[in-house]
A and B are shown apart, each in its own frame.
Chain A
């Protein structure tokens, strides 16, 4: 099987990898780089569990070949916290007890970070609409929406931007 040389910066660390062209960015992040926080649910772009930030924009890591991300800067769930200090969106989700099994949590967190970067004070309606691309099978979404609303409050009081590239 022919492979391609791919250089990707993930959470600030540069990785040069030989990967099969057919492999998705999600698989390479998990299996080659060893960052298993990015979860894979459906593997065809429906569930949103694998959402990452690519050059600051949210994207489905299962709908990207790793070779397509050659040269890109990726942020995964592991890149949100600042050392031991949780990102405000992480803190808010914890405070609101947003998740139950939390398999979907990485995707929701990355989508929420992207949403709040663009719109720091979304309405409940906007939150529901913008997060409709992420599926959760446990909560019924009420607690997740409450978590995002908590994040809006935390972020407006600390005035810290979302995530550094």
Chain B
């Protein structure tokens, strides 16, 4: 339906945006790409008195990806990341997530950082951040806070961000040369939110797995890693036996929700299937240029 009324602000600097948040706090919402906020308004899931449009703040547009890590600013859109050669080379898990995110007409407007801040548990980017051990840069008028990805998502549409803070950047650590990663998911229709999805990485040296990350989305109220399954993979030769054992632990430990789209048991089952599928694909990508 039509959006409820609000007072619109379009600050031209980060300092001005932060001053508005300091003033209006809980009654203000940040607008970047708007692909999450506008449905929230249209469906009356939220009714902020003030909308702070950060879309014209130049200092939030930075995208840097290199051998020492990747920094994604608050205004970087999915379509830009999807086409970026630097992202493909240095943040391949981000590149792998991009085609799964919405439709083209959503990706041209929606931002990666906005998706993380919106915190839909079935979204790809929060799980990618959790898999990679990203650092969230939260800025308020009072200063800057660095928040570990593992501490950032706290529940359904709920994060560690304070009402006076803006998530200005996501920092990803350097991508290791001996690792592969991918994003796999099962959804009812192409680009729909996943029933369950997996962002995974695996590193291999001398024929044995040295580290693995299994980060599921759509399987709980936040993205979740299955540490026991990751630990079970370490030291094993990458292959069917190790992946099947990890999948079994995933099925036993995940506690996904039931809804009209799928039962908890069905989601557990596909989480196991995705574990094997994702790890197989991730290993195949080690050392392969994007």
Interface of A with B (CB < 8 Å)? 1-2, 4, 20-24, 27, 43-45, 48, 51, 54, 57-60, 62-65, 67-68, 111, 114-115, 128-130, 132-133
Q: A44-B42, A57-B79, A68-B55 are in contact. Are A63 and B5 (CB under 8 A)?
A: no
B260 interface contact, C-beta 8 A = no
A44-B105 CB under 8 A given contacts A22-B4, A68-B53: no
Pairwise interchain contact B42-A43, C-beta atoms closer than 8 A: yes
In the complex with contacts A21-B51, A62-B38, A64-B34, A45-B106 CB distance below 8 A: yes
What are 6 A-B contacts with C-beta separation under 8 Å? A22-B4, A22-B6, A43-B42, A44-B38, A48-B103, A68-B31
Identify the interface centre among A2, A51, A64, A133: most chain B CB within 10 Å of its CB: A133
- When distances are taken between beta carbons in the complex, the residues of chain A under 8 Å from B156 are none
Partner among B102, B108, B190 whose Cβ is within 8 Å of the Cβ of A57: B108
List 4 additional A-B contacts (Cβ < 8 Å) besides A21-B51, A45-B38, A68-B55.
Answer: A1-B5, A54-B109, A63-B38, A67-B53
Contact of B105 among A23, A27, A59 (CB under 8 A): A59
| Segment 32-46 of B: residues with Cβ below 8 Å from A | 34-35, 38-39, 41-43
Chain A residues within an 8 Å CB radius of B269: none
- Cα(A129)–Cα(B1), bound, Å: 27
B189 at the A interface (CB under 8 A): yes
Option from A24, A27, A44, A58 in Cβ contact (under 8 Å) with B104 = A58
Count chain B residues whose beta carbon lies closer than 8 angstroms to a beta carbon of A. 31
Given A21-B51, A58-B105, A133-B191 in contact, is the A67-B38 Cβ separation under 8 Å?
no
Contacting A68 at CB < 8 Å: which of B34, B39, B41? Answer: B34
B 1-49 contacts with A by CB, 8 A: 1-8, 10, 31, 34-35, 38-39, 41-43
Interface positions of B (Cβ within 8 A of A): 1-8, 10, 31, 34-35, 38-39, 41-43, 51, 53, 55, 79, 102-106, 108-109, 189-191
Question: Cα distance A1–B4 when bound, in Å?
Answer: 12
Cα of A12 to Cα of B31 in the assembled complex, Å: 28
Assuming A27-B2, A45-B35, A63-B38, is B106 touching A132 (CB within 8 A)?
A: no
Q: State the 3 A-B residue pairs at the shortest beta-carbon distance, nearest first.
A: A133-B103, A21-B8, A58-B105
Q: Are B51 and A51 in contact (CB under 8 A)?
A: no
